[in-house]
Amino acid sequence: MMNDVDTIFEAAGGEAGLRRLAEAWHTRVMADEVVSHAFSHGFRPDHTARLAAYWAEALGGPATFTGVLGEESDVVRIHSGNGEHDEMNERAVACFDAALEDAGYAADSPVARTLHDYFAWATWNSMYAFHESAGDVPPGLPIPHWTWSGRARTPTGE
């Protein structure tokens, strides 16, 4: 816990802070010659709002994403079946780190370090778990939640 702030969502500035971060990250990745390839098929006009809502839910905010916009299996499926792409993952995380500063998070702050850890973990784990085939993604996956000490354990211990 950071001072009197219980969740990363609150420390990150709530919905407005995560929307700013999603917009900064999207700008960075669209300018990156490797990562922008992931968007070459197009993307929804509300991509940054959806991304911010997804991050908000994962980081202790409201369950707007799963309540209104979609479920984890849908998100993972979109990111799956593209084969191995280590360089893209590395560059996506680098874009995220730069976007943290663009969005006003001090690089050495606990919230920036925690956001980095969450994004890097999600990039290399959740979003990369089914890189061979989107058809391998099971239905009903829960959004992984992140706390100040890392990935939150589910009641089943996962």
- Total-model pTM: 0.85
- Per-residue model confidence (pLDDT) at position 86: 75
Read off the pLDDT of residues 90-137 as tens digits, 9 standing for 90 and up: 999 999 999 999 999 998 999 999 999 999 988 877 666 567 677 777
Q: How far is CA 76 from CA 23, 59, 127, 139, 142, in A?
A: 20, 17, 5, 10, 11
Whether the CB-CB separation of 23 and 48 falls below 8 Å is answered with: yes
Q: What is the pLDDT of residues 61-97, one digit of tens each?
A: 999 988 988 887 787 677 555 656 678 889 999 999 9
pLDDT given for residue 74 in this prediction: 80
Please say whether the beta carbons of 59 and 122 come within 8 A: no
Q: Where are the domains of the chain?
A: 10-146
pLDDT at 85: 64
Superfamily in which the 10-146 domain is placed by CATH: Globins (1.10.490.10)
